[in-house]
A = this chain, B = another copy of it.
């Protein structure tokens, strides 16, 4: 059975001359292409339709009042397939991948084995009520964002032009997913390297849209809200002011963006990249901010790879304001963390970090910032 719908459902102009085109995959999921060139995306997904997995569960951990997603259907997901079978490469003779086109610039589609997915229209998040809190469907939305069709590339080695398309996709996805029902928070991130559990080598990020405020966001929101009430300035604005004043932890900057090792970093190498002017989320970035992000991001990642002269495993996590609350309190910033503390040594989040959430750092932030700045690029 193949999908017979060949019409180009949508072609939407975005900023910087980038156009989005939406298509359907054979199982009904949407794939969106983001292109800087004029090209019609008409390839048809001819794969047989497979049954989509059901929804997982949200259960409340009564010890912490935190939601845990039970997504048992994900256990069989693709795990480090060989390059010839990469599901994120373009479709080519002998490979029917997730992307029907034979080439693409940036492509985004709903995750085949999503942790969170759209629920029934009457879905509602229960209040915390300890042990009597009901189990509900794991509502939300998960997407895969392919940074390029070049399997061997890395985000940090993309051209500035290509990063600009990725940025446009991030902005557009944040805008679009914000409109979906029951979305409380949108989290765009990338894991790079098998050391942090990457299961597909192709350069890509993910977007998790939660139907609840994740524990870390809930806590940051409360603190940022208190700070705004007390000081009439967003917390991130004051944090950036301290970094500018202290100077020693700055890694890179331009007119719009600043990259720094945070004052109380938790990982051997941790870089925060923030817009200098308070911005709630990716969707609210101005075109100017969107244009100038790539240079600071590229420099930061090149410095990270340069410290030990190896491709550093990292997690890159966009912290943004929740969709409906705290829009003027919680500011956008990208948190890049690496667990590599020396060429042959990783920092493991073991006893103290995992069970107590008490972080122990082996490197002072000023020391790792100096190492990052010393890299010749």
| Chain A residues within 8 Å of B, Cβ to Cβ | 57, 59-72, 74-75, 79, 115, 130-131, 185, 187, 189-191, 196-198, 206, 208, 210, 214-217, 219-220, 223-224, 227, 235-236, 238-239, 242, 262-266, 315, 317, 319, 335, 337, 341-342, 345-352, 354-365, 367
Contact = CB atoms under 8 A, between A and B. Distances in A.
Nearest to A71: B360
Contacts of A351: 187, 189-191, 206, 208, 315, 317
Q: Which 9 A-B pairs have the closest CB atoms?
A: A197-B348, A317-B355, A214-B356, A214-B358, A189-B351, A59-B264, A61-B264, A215-B357, A68-B264
A85 to B, nearest CB: 17
B349 A349 contact: yes
A223 B63 contact: yes
Contacts of A359: 66, 68-69
Contacts of A219: 64-65
A71 B362 contact: yes
Contacts of A358: 67, 69, 208, 210, 214-216
B360 A74 contact: yes
24 contacts: A63-B235, A64-B219, A64-B223, A65-B223, A67-B264, A68-B264, A68-B265, A69-B361, A70-B365, A71-B361, A72-B363, A130-B227, A130-B238, A197-B346, A197-B349, A208-B352, A214-B358, A216-B355, A216-B356, A216-B357, A317-B354, A319-B355, A337-B354, A349-B349
B352 A115 contact: yes
Given A75-B341, A358-B208, A364 B70 contact: yes
A129 B342 CA distance: 33
Contacts of A224: 63
A128 B119 CA distance: 40
A355 B71 CA distance: 19
A11 B362 CA distance: 37
Given A68-B265, A216-B358, 19 more contacts: A63-B239, A66-B359, A68-B359, A69-B359, A69-B360, A70-B264, A70-B361, A71-B362, A185-B356, A189-B352, A190-B351, A191-B351, A196-B348, A208-B351, A214-B356, A214-B358, A216-B356, A317-B355, A317-B356
Contacts of A57: 364
B361 A68 contact: yes
A74 to B, nearest CB: 5
A238 B131 contact: yes
Contacts of A190: 351
Contacts of A220: 63-64
Contact of A362 (B75, B337, B367): B75
A206 B319 CA distance: 34
Given A64-B219, A266-B61, A187 B362 contact: no
